[in-house]
Structure 1
Amino acid sequence: MKITIIRAEMTHDKENGYRGAVQFEAEGHKHPYEITLQLNSLRGTTWDYSLRFAKDPGSEDQINEMEAAIESDDDLFDSLIDAAAETLPEDIEEGE
């Protein structure tokens, strides 16, 4: 599935780990999405995420389709994580 990143951000602190958000559009979908990401290094190495429509509510079928794509396509999910991670200051990326 082809996506276009609209906006991305990520922060890091010792207490909460990595937290990010990415707004993106998906080809053929009417409304943009926002995925929030969290990786708490104290709990493991698996990213937790939450997906929602970024602005206006959209169809349940389309958000279910996007959820399935994120779950089944590691490259898609990794591209969302990478978009957020690219916004971290270099000293944080190198320090972990």
Structure 2
Amino acid sequence: MQIRIESADMTYTKEDGYLGHVVFAVENHPKSYEITLLSKSARDWSYSLNFARESGDELLIEAVEEALEEDDRLFDSLVEAAMAALDK
């Protein structure tokens, strides 16, 4: 699955840990997605996937969800984009 990062941010607080958001487009999908990332230690990540701006086809977002679960490189690329924004 080919993606293009549109925007990314990450914050860190001692109390809450890491909280990040990445908006990304998927090749041949008409709507962008936003993943929200949460981790206390920057090792184990919880996430939530939504449409970024407006609702779209549920079958497409389910395909992205499945890809995130199965492709560690895809998921890691989104985490890396958010973490890179923390350093700025």
Task: Give aligned pairs, total.
Answer: 88
Q: Counterparts of 1:19 and 1:4 in 2: how far apart (Å)?
A: 20
Q: TM-score, normalised by structure 1?
A: 0.87
Instruction: Compare CA radii of gyration and give the structure with the larger one.
Output: 1
Unpaired runs of 5+ residues, structure 1, are 91-96
Q: CA RMSD in A?
A: 1.3
Percent same amino acid at aligned positions? 49
Q: Match for residue 4 of structure 2?
A: 4
Task: Say which SS state the counterpart of residue 52 (structure 1) adopts.
Answer: strand
Q: Match for residue 88 of structure 1?
A: 86
Q: Counterparts of 2:75 and 2:55 in 1: how far apart (Å)?
A: 22
Q: TM-score, normalised by structure 2?
A: 0.95
Q: Counterparts of 2:17 and 2:82 in 1: how far apart (Å)?
A: 14
Unpaired runs of 5+ residues, structure 2, are none
Spell out structure 1 runs of 4+ moving beyond 2 A.
none
Q: Deviations over 1:24-72 (max 9, x none)?
A: 000011100000000013xx93100000000110011000000000000
1:66 matched to 2:64? The reply is yes
